[in-house]
Chains A and B, each alone.
Chain A
């Protein structure tokens, strides 16, 4: 796996040197992304287009969490709360719950904003906390948000409690109802495909923002804080504001993704925003390679698609062994867990580590090796 990846990376770098092939590669990539839902439906069926849609939502979530954990180094175990805030905001403003039917272009920016405010609310009291103390406080924050959503049906019915909110308006853009099959010339575009294109646009937008942030002053300030907070503040970085900005930015990505989720599903309930979801998103970025956008995307893709692919375990058993030995549903999560463990053991810095991280890891290993050598010398 490792040499393969390296080869791919060197291939990629060689490619980037060649202008023409760069253009060709991007065109090919664009073409593939554009045709992907149709190819997927033809080969695997429409349920996989739905899985693609969810993959894009998770990519957005993972990129948001990457800002907090990957760039700024703040371990956040309650990230799904922002996804929930975005989703509930959409559901409350566009459903029969309050009889409101706001348009999507008004709700999504508002969702990003409100989620960002929640991000600051979480960040403000926790500025002094580090590492695992921060982890438990953010975890608590995520649970607090979920519990409020689950219980705010009394004394005033705001969220409809555990029953969730149903009949949420589908997303409409310029008079096009994304929930209806659309016809373009001779092409029939089903709803799942329409949502795919919408989510793809948002994902690309978020990737773009992530790249720009990474190379900006703010991005460098985040990395400085991650590496050494004291030194960073000595260099004149306002660590408080910069940290809060990380929480707010990360949260707003989650808010947008949540709003899209609510419109896509048409129904939301607090069950979708459990701690386990926060943990899975964290797994995505660590598994893929924290701080590296390509890695985070890869992690999100793998962890969304892999559990779904494992549903075919029964059919594979049938094919290879002649009969179904173990109920595939009983094996699915077991294999998922094993894959997490093995992947981290063989790629501790993630599948596609950020170049900076890879360098650090390498450096740290060699320092350790030196220390050990010198210890042995002393012992002698």
Chain B
């Protein structure tokens, strides 16, 4: 399939670079479905007659596979170019749903683990990093905004998948898709049909991205943009560092630590969002002022904050610098967590505002990471380095829930807790964020001994463009 080769996807002169963000978004909006698995969680528990953990683990497998595949396949993605890697991502993501559907129809849970978790998870990892370095090459003048746009799609994917999946499940179960149906739980066979529909639909939409992605020709730069006139900064390298060398630097592991701690702290809220808001506003009679439907609205608001933060904060980092924005995520996040822990229960508006800002920082840290890596290591293998960095996400996906659930289990039973029961969890998150803040302050420009020799770079450019 030669049309997938990098050499076949080099843009012709005059190509409009604003066609690249929709191609990248087509991939990220589809794989962002991973955040909407709660829509059919109860149905799968009933269908397989297993515990919440047995179904919840599907998401965990997918996120672990995301990090592993991004780390392992990152160099291949960089070498093969965005078109081939996006095609592989679309194939794995679509196939993951189809194998998962087979598991649902035949009532074999392991097939669902293999399909959605392992195969789909590989699609997630490759799809997540595929368009990122290409976007930064098209937008060297605004790399944070460019990656923010794409990675915003990963946050926004759930906003589409959640109502779409609910409407489809109702239709498959024979209900009016627009009906309320608050006490309805979809049948297992409907979830199977949903998986087939989503697998085919997502593959088709991702193929739009595959067909429309282009890499800039060697030496291309935006009209009127002169890299030599860009304000120089000690934190923005003019050298290029390979992925193998990047992981030998202290700065890589400090960024890894900052991302890991910020994501772990964000998961603290995301994991518990719905019960947390109900517990914070539970009266002395044991009843909460916030019912389940309103709590669902709060979860939706967090999704919008997560998505918006990816674009807004990452774009802001182009102006104020990556190090400062990470200090804001971690230092500002710690302050907001303290306010939330101590005063969140006194005002619904304050609680919601603090939570949304914290989640916007969570999303922002993901979206700013590729541009930060570009600043530190150059564009040479930034996609591969980004892949290795995403292992921080996998680690946080395990550590975050473990910390939150472990501390909350010691506080009481679900549905009986109040605001002060959350103090240990929230203050633990503050400590993590402060450590992350200190790690960020130690990030320095990479030593020139890690830079690639000019001759090697010229050779690789002439081979691969």
A is bound by B = no
Chain A residues near B (Cβ < 8 Å):
none
